[in-house]
Amino acid sequence: MSIYGFLHRSALKQLPECLNEAGYRCIGPRVREGAVTFGELTSIDDLPRGVGDEQRPAHYRLGEREDERLFAWAVGPQGLKSWLFTPRETLWRSRRDDDGRLYFETGSPADDRPLAAIGVRACDLAALRLQDAHFLEREPDPGYRKRRAGLFLVAVDCTHPAETCFCHSTGDGPACESGFDLALHELDDGFIVHAGSEAGERVAARLPLLPVGEEQEAARRDQQRAAIDAQQRALPGRNLRDALFANLDHERWQAVAERCLSCANCTSVCPTCFCHSHEEVPDLDGRTSEHLRQWDSCFTEGHSYIHGIVIRAETPERYRQWLTHKLGSWHDQYGRSGCVGCGRCITWCPVGIDLTEEATVICAEAGDD
């Protein structure tokens, strides 16, 4: 039977200790350079206690709260993507010996202990499922597979969505429904803990859990309802594929491109974007070479360079590629939209372009049903 109980706030410190004892390296949200991002956790004191955030298009600020809550903020600029699909990774090295024989070795990560991620949100669990669909099935990647196989997920229900969040409209949040080992729901005095896997049950069994009272259960329901009600943005509620492809010549593509800087911030922060490029970096000794894979973006010139031609030379074509792929052709490739409603691309776009607004305008015309 699944473990479900209440963990007092003061007992949460036992969670990273249990995970460390089980052989995991713990990461979790930490305040760094004015933002909440995942980093190594040495203790529960590293978490952002009493921190809140304010987000809107092109705006992100942290502030102090008057309570001790650890997770009363919405997603920061970084999800789990960079921990599994690393921004820059050596895939292999080659070396030629004195007799001209060529040797290859694969890159090895500095620390390959399994990872436990504390504080993962529902949108990031959904993004992880999409990254799995790509890197485990469509384009199998040994490094991703290894990191993913060892990953232990401690999810946290979102109780304070940002103004830019819209995960409820994509069906991906704000509560964590599946795909975790443990899920936490933060209340004033502690956490409702729910195990979602056998590994999660083994860890939960070592925590001093108490029965969940009726008041705590009611508080959880109230917070979940409030988190849904707080979300004011939404994507048009239907499969947008046909509507976008029926509007490839819409005048809005040009209008949005007049604001867009082609900076690729949106694709960097997006937890589902997986475009990448490969680079061979030979050493000056003429004998060794390193093969790198690094993040790329549909907003860079090089990403659409094919046989001497840049096929998406201008920003309208690049923005259209981003939106029609993310919200359209992902349905053909992965069976659903590529957007999980985290709102990061809205917050971190330096000019505040909002894909929910662009999709609503572009899909308001013919072909949207």
The residues that touch ligand SF4, with contacts defined as CB under 6 A, are 260-266, 269-272, 299, 326, 339-345, 349-351, 353, 355
Q: How far is the CB of 363 from ligand SF4 (least distance, A)?
A: 15
Neighbours of 334 (CB within 10 A): 16
Smallest distance from ligand SF4 to CB 364, Å: 19
CB of 284 to ligand SF4, least distance (A): 35
d(CA 230, CA 49): 22
Q: Are 196 and 180 in contact (CB under 8 A)?
A: yes
Long-range Cβ pairs for the range 362-365 (8 Å, 24+): 362/243, 362/244, 362/247, 362/250, 362/252, 362/253, 362/323, 363/236, 363/240, 363/243, 363/244, 363/247, 365/243, 365/246, 365/247, 365/250
Q: How many CB atoms lie within 10 A of CB 294?
A: 12
Nearer to ligand SF4, 19 or 260 (CB): 260
Task: Report the residue number, 212 or 310, with the smaller CB distance to ligand SF4.
Answer: 310
Bridge pairing between strands 309-310 and 305-306: antiparallel
Helix (H/G/I), strand (E/B), else coil: 4: strand
- Residue 51 has, within 13 A of its CA and on its CB side, a CA count of 23
- The minimum distance between CB 63 and ligand SF4, in angstroms, equals 23
Residue 275 backbone class (left: φ over 0; alpha: ψ -120 to 50; beta: rest): beta
Q: Of the two residues 144 and 330, which places its CB atom closer to ligand SF4 in the complex?
A: 330
List the one residue out of 273, 305, 278, 306 whose CA is nearest residue 292: 278
Contact 185, 157 (CB under 8 A): yes
**Cβ 114 to ligand SF4 shortest distance, Å:** 26
- Cβ nearer to ligand SF4, comparing 4 with 305: 305
Measured from the CB atom, the residue of 26 and 264 that comes closer to ligand SF4 is 264
| Closer CB to ligand SF4, 162 or 182, in the complex | 162
CB-nearer residue toward ligand SF4: 121 or 160: 121
Least distance between ligand SF4 and beta carbon 333 (Å): 15
Residue whose CB is less far from ligand SF4, 125 or 340: 340
Using only C-alpha atoms, the chain has a radius of gyration, in whole angstroms, of 22
Task: Write down the least CB distance from residue 123 to ligand SF4, Å.
Answer: 7
- Tell me the C-alpha distance between 290 and 169, whole Å: 44
Question: To the nearest whole angstrom, how small is the minimum distance from the Cβ of residue 340 to ligand SF4?
Answer: 4
- Residue with smaller CB distance to ligand SF4, 46 or 172: 172
Least distance between ligand SF4 and beta carbon 167 (Å): 8
Nearer of residues 44 and 339 to ligand SF4, judged by Cβ: 339
* 101 alpha-carbon distance from chain centroid: 42
Residue 232 makes CB contacts below 8 A (sequence gap 6+) with 163
d(CA 299, CA 277): 13
The two beta strands, 309-310 and 115-120, are unpaired
Give the nearest distance from C-beta 348 to ligand SF4 in angstroms. 7
